[in-house]
Structures are given as C-alpha cells and as structure tokens.
Amino acid sequence: MFAEVLLYPDTASTYAQEVDRHLWFLLGVTGFFGGLIAVLILTFSAKYRRRPGNERPAAVHSAMWLELAWTVIPLILALVIFAWGARLYFTWARPPDDSMEVFVVARQWMWKFQHSGGQREINQLHVPAGKPVKLTMISADDIHSFFVPEFRNHMDVIPGRYLTVCFQATKPGTYHLYCSQYCGTYHPRMVGEIIVMKPEAFRIWLNKGGDGSMATEGRKLFQKLQCVSCHSADAKARAPVLENIFQIPPTRVTLQDGSTVLADDNYLRESILRPDAKVVAGFQPIMPSYEGLVDEEEMLQLLAFIKSLGPGQTPPRTEEAEPPAVRPAPKGPKEKQP
C-alpha cells in the first residue's frame, strides 16, 4: 500500500497489474546491470591503475566462456522483455469481440462520449465493472491524449483517424481522466472522470438516458443525405451495397486497381469524406465528398448505422431520393488584403 501511494497510482483494471509487473522487471534488470557495471568500473579502476615501475600492463587473453556469457545472457533477457511487452501490447490493442463499444470525440477542451444506445456524456464516462470496454476515438481539432493512470491506459487521439483503446475495470469507483498532450491555452482544464459502476447499477443508469441509438440516428442521417439513392441494394444501385460490409474481423474490399483494403472504421470514414481515394471495383467515382458537411459525431452515427446493416436492411429507395449534386470542397476563410 505504501509503495502504491508514493510510486504509482492504484491498479483498477485487469491490464494494470501486468503493466506494473513488466515495469518492475525492467527496473530490476536495468538496476542490477547498472549497479554491476558501476561496481566493476570502480573495482577495475583501482586494481589496474597505473603504478610506478608498472607502466606496461601484462597481456590479457580473452576467455571464451566470458564472451559467450555477456552475449547470450543479455540476448535472452532482451527476448524475454520483447515477448512480454508484445503480449501486453496485443492484449491492449485487440479488444475482445464482446466488448462494450463507446465512441469518443476529443475537442478543445473536452471529452465527448456516446454509447451505442445513444447516451451522451461530456467529461464523464460511466462503465460497468468486469466488462471489457472498447473506446473508438478521434479528435475534432488538435492532437489530444487519453490517459487514465489507474487503468494504465495511454493513447494519443488524432484528427482524421480512428484509434481504439480497451480496458476492463476491476472495481467500482471514480478515476481521473487526463489529456496528457498539450493541446492549447486551456489544456489543463481538459480533465474528466471514468465512473465505474456495479453491473446492475450501470444497467439502471443506461436505461435512464438515450433519445435514440446511434444506429437509429445514423439511419436518419443516411436518408437525409440521400445516400440511399445510390447505395440502394436494388437493381438501380450505382454504388456498393453496404449490407454486411463491416464484420469482425474486418473483411477485405477489392478496389479498381486490383488491390484490397480492410473494411474497418477508417476505411468507411475515408470513403465518405474522400470517396475517390479508394474506389471499389466495378463502380465509378461518382460519389460527392461530404467533407465539411458531416461533423465527427454525425460521422460516428453514420458508421454505427452502416455497421448495423444486415441482409435486406437497407432503407427503401424513394422516387424523390435523387443523388446529391457534386459539392465543391469547403474553402477556408478569405485572406485579408494588405
């Protein structure tokens, strides 16, 4: 308990204890060899120092066992550290399939969370204890960094790309959330809380909020933007059918140039904002860009809807739903004339 108070925060996730063990192993190895080398330097400096009448030292012949020892032992230790660290990384970077997904948009200077059921939170995140939680994160402006010391979770959140982090809290409580990347004037105010609840209490809290699931809101947006005019899943479809495009693990989509790409969150996002970047084989680049017309929260809702589409679940195409005209890319503010 004394070491936890002075040296590092409490451990409140299944991942935290293993990270601490790895840290102490690294400190032990480096401390041992650092101390050993320091002692040998001092010992040899005293023993083999220059003395009057002994200006030329005797010839020294190397010992093969010593050469092998200081080559093989560090190699084995390095491989152990690498294998241990790699296992930790894959545990952290590959969320379980049954993880509860929460979407995060970081912006100056707040954390915005949205649950799949539509519940929204700002600078607070409620999660159940004992359940893996997958955070899909993106920044709406600057580079931020998601840091919860008690969970040993630390991940940069950058614009234009989805990154994920996973944790499983082990005990109820309130834990601090920080942005550990300087992101502007009010960076110190970008703090929040992770509130870990007992499963039953979390279910009660979850049932209290949410005007509509993210997939439901995404469906409305899908129809409002007239995406169904091309992604109609019928004989008049002029764009790829989106049903079952997103799977776990992600499937590969064949492009016009014969290459393939994983159909993950980042691919779907890029296809909405830059549809001519990766055109699916058998189709033409006729889709307009929605960059500047869909914000990051709406983008997450669209993705939630697309990911929920199963066979026969594409909204019906109406006669008045015509494909949107190609829109020019949004322009920045005009430069002032001197």
Residue 324: partners with Cβ closer than 8 Å, 6 or more residues away:
225, 226, 229, 288
If asked whether residues 113 and 128 sit together in one domain, one would say yes
167: helix, strand or coil: strand
Q: What's the whole-number mean pLDDT along residues 170-187? A: 91
Q: What's the whole-number mean pLDDT along residues 199-226? A: 83
If asked whether residues 203 and 223 sit together in one domain, one would say no
**CATH code of residue 220:** 1.10.760.10
- Other CB atoms within a 10 A radius of the CB of residue 97 amount to 9
If asked whether residues 128 and 153 sit together in one domain, one would say yes
Range of the domain at 27: 1-46+95-210
If asked whether residues 120 and 256 sit together in one domain, one would say no
Residue 45: partners with Cβ closer than 8 Å, 6 or more residues away:
none
Last residue of a domain, one of 210, 242, 270: 210
If asked whether residues 16 and 153 sit together in one domain, one would say yes
If asked whether residues 205 and 166 sit together in one domain, one would say yes
Kindly state the DSSP code that residue 244 receives in the 8-state scheme: T
Query: Is a pLDDT exceeding 90 seen at residue 195?
Result: yes
The pLDDT-based confidence of 253 (bands split at 50, 70, 90) is confident
Rounded Cα distance, 211 and 122, in Å: 16
Residue 88 domain-assigned? no
Q: Which residue has the tokens 């997103």?
A: 246
- Per-residue confidence (pLDDT) for residue 295, from 0 to 100: 87
| Residue 226 region by backbone torsions, left for phi larger than 0, else alpha for psi between -120 and 50, else beta | left
Residue 277 domain-assigned? yes
If asked whether residues 195 and 250 sit together in one domain, one would say no
- Per-residue confidence (pLDDT) for residue 331, from 0 to 100: 43
If asked whether residues 12 and 111 sit together in one domain, one would say yes
Question: What DSSP assignment string belongs to 276-301?
Answer: TSSPBTT--S-PPP-TTTS-HHHHHH
If asked whether residues 23 and 153 sit together in one domain, one would say yes
Last residue of a domain, one of 210, 227, 254: 210
Q: What's the whole-number mean pLDDT along residues 161-174? A: 90
- Angle between helix axes 296-308 and 214-224 (nearest 10 degrees) is 100
**And the tokens for 320?**
């008045």
If asked whether residues 175 and 277 sit together in one domain, one would say no
Sheet holding 133-139, edge to edge: 120-122, 110-115, 100-107, 133-139, 163-167
If asked whether residues 193 and 258 sit together in one domain, one would say no
Last residue of a domain, one of 177, 210, 243: 210
What is the tally of structural domains in the chain?
Answer: 2
Kindly state the DSSP code that residue 250 receives in the 8-state scheme: P
Of 29-38, 88-97, 115-124, 313-322, give the lowest mean pLDDT range.
313-322
**CATH code of residue 109:** 2.60.40.420
If asked whether residues 225 and 283 sit together in one domain, one would say yes
Name the pairing type of β-strands 163-167 and 133-139: antiparallel
